[in-house]
Amino acid sequence: MLEINEELLAIDDAVDRLAKLILASPQAKNYQIAKANVLADQELQSLLARFQDLQESYEEQKGFVKYRSEVVDLRRQVLQLKRQIDLTQTMQEFRAAEVALQEVLAGITEQLAQTISSDIFVDTGLPLAPHHHQHGHGRGQNIREKGKVQ
């Protein structure tokens, strides 16, 4: 059971302060503005609704792709509409703001992890960030069993 003490309360207060600082950052503000622009863009919302419908229709029928050629055409329509959505100025601005905010959050997470131990790897999910291969499963594949952590 978690013991609530002064240290835990201090950590909780620090987390609250950090969250407020992040929300006040230019990256978070740009993200909020870009998200509001996406929601306000009626043409984009129409495309997104159409994409959602096409995607659901494709998901229902994709098991029959070998037997029905129109499923291939439906998949092509889904991909074309996705590309059309991704090429809109509003969506490009939203994605750029999203990545900028993700970089800030990834940097904070990496700093926290490195403060604890330099052996901790944080997968930021950023496209050009380093990635670790997945750990194997089964006996002898545990980090501790390999002798890396003592």
Provide the CATH number for the domain around residue 82.
Answer: 1.20.1500.10
Query: pLDDT at position 113, please?
Result: 87
- Global pTM reads 0.74
CA distances to 26, 34, 38, 118 from 93, rounded to whole Å, are 14, 6, 9, 35
Identify which of 31, 13, 33, 47 has the alpha carbon closest to the alpha carbon of residue 105. 31
pLDDT, tens digit (0-9, with 9 covering 90-100), for 8-51: 899 899 999 999 999 999 999 999 999 999 999 999 999 999 99
Query: pLDDT at position 49, please?
Result: 97
- With respect to residue 129, please indicate whether it lies within any of the assigned structural domains: no
Query: pLDDT at position 133, please?
Result: 55
- With respect to residue 136, please indicate whether it lies within any of the assigned structural domains: no
- With respect to residue 6, please indicate whether it lies within any of the assigned structural domains: no
The total of structural domains in the chain comes to 1
> Which residues, given as ranges, of the chain have pLDDT below 70?
1, 127-150
Query: pLDDT at position 150, please?
Result: 43
